[in-house]
Amino acid sequence: MPTATARPAARHAREPGTPPRSLVALAAILLAATTGAAVWLLPAEADEWAGPARAARPERLGAATAPPAGRPAAERVADSGAAAPAAGGPSGFVTFVDAARTPLFGLPSAADPQDGARWFALGHLTAGRDGCTLRWGGRQGQGGDPVPGRLDRLRAAGGVAGLVFGGPTGRELSGACAVPATLTAAYRKAVGDFGAAYLDFEVQDSADDETVLRRAEAITALQEEAREGGRSLAVGFTLPATETGLAPRDQMMLRATREAGVRISVVNLLVPIRPASAGQSRLRPVASAVRAARPQVAEALAEPVTEGRIALTSVLAGPESLSPADARKMVAFAARNHLAWLSTRGAAPDPEVVRLLSAPPL
């Protein structure tokens, strides 16, 4: 029986200085209880639309950790994390005016010189019947184009106007006009005729490589002419975005355009606001679209950060798509996420919503 008694003895033997097993078990129980209590006391994840701002961090491109050398200081992101506005481009809230449908548009009341300049985007300019002439909605204006005269009054009231090329109907000019010099001249004429402060391209032809490069070469030429004249010409692209961000073809288009020499000031995300399920926020898909597009835009523009380089345009099915409460959350969201500006398309929002979107964040 010596073997049978030796095994229990070996099992209960312990090294000198080792605490008894009962004490070890008690300590483990206390540690688990303390950890569980600490985890239970941690705050739940904040709502993206109402929670505090998250610390801004650079979107990495490879090993990039700082802005490219030689960029103007005004284009860099401040140490505080505030957005660097796109040079010469819109800010705050941008009012879209459908000049193709209503060339005799009324002057929005937001253009108030007491509050400073307000930004407006007029669209959509597309190719006319001859393929190389710009028309509102692709149609020839009757009795001359009344828009330039309306813009003079808009500027006198404190507004600043830009042009939107392309859009959901008609062909963007670069897709219809295959002669580079003629295309550049048509863009140049539009800039001069309307005194455009910035140009926006709402493209539907990202997969057409020839069109993408033809448009990029024309824009590059216009921006170079502006620089030589001591001016800046801000250029942006309006692209549809979903909860997965931008479509791959749109990402490639942005990259090819940038590599061709275009300085892209901002990428405007076009995101529809749809009814939400019970208990869900209809703004959550919008927030998801911005988060998903951020690294995609950073990579396409070869920028380590995207603060001030992304704008958000909500597409409304009706005035009820965006409530005043939604508008307040959206303004706060734009400030926390350093968006360049906000806008709406589709149905006209409620006047109170426009007032809230136009107001600076508190």
pLDDT attached to residue 61: 29
Nearest to 280 by CA among 101, 54, 2, 48: 48
DSSP secondary structure letters along 293-320: HHHHHHHHHT-S--TTTEEEEEEESSGG
Contact 243, 283 (CB under 8 A): no
Q: What contacts 103, CB < 8 A, 6 or more positions away?
A: 136, 141, 145, 146, 147, 150
347 domain-assigned: yes
pLDDT attached to residue 47: 52
pLDDT attached to residue 21: 57
51 domain-assigned: no
SS (H, E, C) 25-88: HHHHHHHHHHHHHHHHHCCCCCCCCCCCCCCCCCCCCCCCCCCCCCCCHHHCCCCCCCCCCCCC
Domain that holds residue 257: 88-358
Work out how many domains the chain is built from and give that number.
Answer: 1
211 domain-assigned: yes
pLDDT attached to residue 103: 80
Q: Letter for the amino acid at 195?
A: G
pLDDT attached to residue 242: 97
Query: Which residue positions in the chain have pLDDT lower than 70?
Result: 1-88, 107-117, 140-143, 360-362
111 domain-assigned: yes
What is the rounded CA–CA span in Å between residue 347 and residue 322?
Answer: 10
pTM, 2 dp: 0.76
Longest dimension (CA), the chain: 118
1 domain-assigned: no
Q: What contacts 235, CB < 8 A, 6 or more positions away?
A: 198, 199, 200, 201, 219, 223, 262, 263, 264, 265
pLDDT attached to residue 197: 86
pLDDT attached to residue 130: 87
277 domain-assigned: yes
> Which residue stretches of the chain are H helix?
2-12, 21-41, 147-156, 173-176, 180-194, 209-228, 248-259, 284-301, 324-336, 351-358
CATH number at 210 reads 3.20.20.80
- Look at the alpha carbons of 66, 71, 73, 77 in this order and tell me if their dihedral is positive or negative: negative
339 domain-assigned: yes
Nearest to 266 by CA among 134, 85, 144, 70: 85
Contact 286, 314 (CB under 8 A): yes
Nearest to 268 by CA among 70, 112, 135, 119: 119
Rg (CA), the chain: 28
72 domain-assigned: no
pLDDT attached to residue 7: 42
Q: Letter for the amino acid at 46?
A: A
pLDDT attached to residue 88: 64
Contact 125, 234 (CB under 8 A): no
